[in-house]
């Protein structure tokens, strides 16, 4: 990569600024602060000049949201990385926001622990080679398949330090759940997509890794039956840690040969825990459903692979990159009918996660991104435009438009944290 470097001095801070010719938008300048004080000084300067700012971690989600404009500055968080505190006995870890998720996962795995919220890697989905950072994972709030058991990302964030859009440094929360007093700002910032503040340091919970992992694959159900099976399993005390349905086309793209070569759909149920417990729950599920369809057992390595595929939306990645990708959150019981309604008008491909409550849908390019069709088909819930060409993202709301009272509340919160509205333009309801 060719780049011209210059040292900049603003407001007493010392940071590196450069223009990257290999970036998606060569006219966008990038600034890499060294520490939290640098960020605070930069934010004060940019607030005075009303300069729009995009926060960049590993760059894996840079293509999400509205396209950057020529005035935008990219705030590269790569200079703020590293694990600051890890207490395995207390199940707590604190790291700077620019630390890669893969580095954290490796560190905790050495002590038999893991990140239960299973943060996805969307680099391949969004056309990037970058890896997700802790700050990016928390800012996006995107959870993996284990959400149905472990809960959302915000439930695993204990505390953080951050810099507001006016340059004010603040901290909230602590290193144990009971330390949280007053307004729980970490919960608010989680999932805010960098529109409220620049997170610099984050404390999260880690969990003991399960002794045994097993996935039951039920082969052949159509989408409606598959989702009903998942709902039935989730309604019983089986402590399911993953519940997904892959239609035949999506199943055929799996790297698990037994799934891909079957030529039919696969309804997947993941069980975790002590070996005796997993065996007992697996046998109970067998008694319920094995007589209806052929079933397969995936061991720990195969389970890890197929749920990583689901986590990272791999079943849709072999399709052309210009296809538009939507992320739909809706009632599981309504998911298959909703997909069928959309598929009447566009050649959609999908797969289902979270027992049917999360649907990943892709369709061929359309200048209007099918927004009216997709959002009009939802009985409730919301549809997020995850991937589309710049021309489409420029004119299509990225998030489901909110009702007026909720949008007004979001705008007030945005103004309180970022009074000049310079952070992550186009990613908040106030800026869409």
- The number of angstroms, rounded, from the C-alpha of 159 to the middle of its chain's C-alpha atoms is 19
pLDDT surpasses 50 at 136: yes
Q: Strands 266-273, 294-298: parallel, antiparallel or unpaired by DSSP? A: unpaired
CB 98 within 8 A of CB 133: yes
pLDDT at 14: 40
pLDDT at 17: 39
Tell me the C-alpha distance between 101 and 312, whole Å: 14
Of the chain, the percentage scoring pLDDT greater than 70 comes to: 89
pLDDT surpasses 70 at 429: no
Tell me the C-alpha distance between 414 and 133, whole Å: 23
Higher-pLDDT residue of 18 and 279 is 279
212-314 matches 322-393 in fold: yes
Least confident piece of the model among 159-168, 346-355, 376-385, 423-432: 423-432
pLDDT band for 177, please (50, 70, 90 cuts): low
Strand partners, 183: none
- 66-81 residue pLDDT tens: 998 888 999 999 999 9
- pTM comes to 0.90
Query: What CATH topology corresponds to 83-208?
Result: 3.30.465
pLDDT band for 291, please (50, 70, 90 cuts): low
Mean pLDDT score, 289-311: 90
- 18-51 residue pLDDT tens: 333 233 444 569 999 999 999 999 999 999 999 9
Distances (CA, A) of 157 to 177, 204, 291: 9, 4, 42
Mean pLDDT score, 74-94: 97
CB 264 within 8 A of CB 220: yes
Tell me the C-alpha distance between 135 and 196, whole Å: 13
pLDDT at 174: 76
- 97-127 residue pLDDT tens: 999 999 999 999 999 999 999 999 999 999 9
Mean pLDDT score, 48-57: 94
CATH for the stretch 212-314: 3.30.70.2190
pLDDT at 432: 39
- 362-398 residue pLDDT tens: 999 887 778 999 999 999 999 999 999 999 999 999 9
Cα-only R_g, the chain: 22
CB 223 within 8 A of CB 245: yes
CATH for the stretch 322-393: 3.30.70
Tell the burial category of 6 from Cβ atoms under 10 Å away from its Cβ (0-12, 13-18, 19+). exposed
Q: In sequence order, which residues have a C-beta less than 8 Å from that of residue 229 and are 6 or more positions away?
A: 218, 221, 267, 289
Tell me the C-alpha distance between 8 and 34, whole Å: 12
pLDDT band for 290, please (50, 70, 90 cuts): low
Query: What CATH topology corresponds to 3-78?
Result: 3.30.43
Q: What angle do CA 366, 315, 350 make, to 5 degrees?
A: 50
pLDDT band for 426, please (50, 70, 90 cuts): low
pLDDT surpasses 90 at 289: no
Domain coordinates in residue numbering, the chain? 3-78, 83-208, 212-314, 322-393
Q: In sequence order, which residues have a C-beta less than 8 Å from that of residue 406 and are 6 or more positions away?
A: 429
pLDDT at 30: 93
pLDDT at 13: 38
């Amino acid at each position: 990569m060719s780049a011209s470097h210059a040292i900049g001095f603003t407001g007493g801070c010392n940071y590196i600024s450069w223009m990257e010719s290999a970036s998606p938008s060569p006219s966008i300048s990038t600034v890499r602060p060294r520490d939290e004080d640098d960020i605070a000084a930069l934010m004060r300067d940019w607030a005075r000049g009303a300069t729009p700012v995009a926060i960049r971690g590993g760059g894996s989600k840079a293509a999400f949201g509205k396209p950057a404009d020529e005035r935008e500055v990219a705030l590269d968080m790569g200079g703020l990385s590293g694990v600051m505190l890890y207490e395995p006995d207390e199940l707590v870890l604190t790291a700077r926001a620019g630390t890669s998720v893969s580095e954290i996962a490796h560190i905790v795995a050495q002590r038999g622990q893991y990140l239960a919220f299973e943060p996805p890697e969307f680099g391949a989905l969004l056309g990037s080679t970058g890896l997700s950072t802790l700050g990016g994972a928390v800012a996006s709030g995107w959870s993996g398949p284990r959400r149905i058991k472990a809960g959302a990302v915000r439930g695993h964030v204990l505390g953080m330090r951050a810099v507001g859009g006016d340059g004010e440094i603040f901290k909230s929360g602590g290193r144990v759940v009971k330390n949280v007093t007053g307004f729980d700002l970490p919960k608010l910032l989680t999932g805010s997509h960098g529109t409220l503040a620049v997170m610099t340091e984050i404390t999260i919970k880690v969990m003991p890794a399960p002794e045994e992992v097993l996935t039951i694959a039920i082969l052949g159900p159509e989408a409606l039956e598959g989702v009903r099976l998942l709902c039935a399993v989730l309604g019983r005390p089986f402590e399911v840690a993953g519940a997904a349905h892959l239609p035949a086309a999506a199943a055929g793209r799996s790297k698990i040969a037994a799934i891909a070569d079957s030529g039919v759909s696969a309804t997947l149920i993941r069980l975790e825990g002590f070996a005796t417990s997993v065996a007992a729950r697996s046998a109970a599920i067998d008694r319920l459903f094995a007589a209806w369809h052929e079933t397969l057992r995936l061991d720990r390595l195969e389970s890890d692979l197929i749920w990583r595929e689901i986590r990272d939306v791999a079943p849709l990645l072999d399709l052309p990159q210009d296809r538009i990708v939507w992320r739909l959150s809706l009632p599981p019981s309504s998911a298959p009918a909703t997909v069928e309604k959309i598929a009447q008008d566009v050649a959609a491909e999908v797969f289902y996660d979270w027992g049917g409550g999360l649907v990943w849908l892709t369709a061929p390019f359309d200048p209007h991104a099918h927004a009216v069709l997709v959002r009009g088909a939802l009985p409730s819930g919301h549809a997020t435009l995850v991937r589309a060409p710049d021309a489409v993202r420029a004119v299509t709301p990225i998030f489901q438009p909110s009702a007026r009272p909720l949008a007004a509340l979001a705008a007030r919160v945005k103004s309180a944290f970022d009074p000049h509205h310079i952070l992550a333009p186009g990613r908040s309801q106030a800026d869409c």
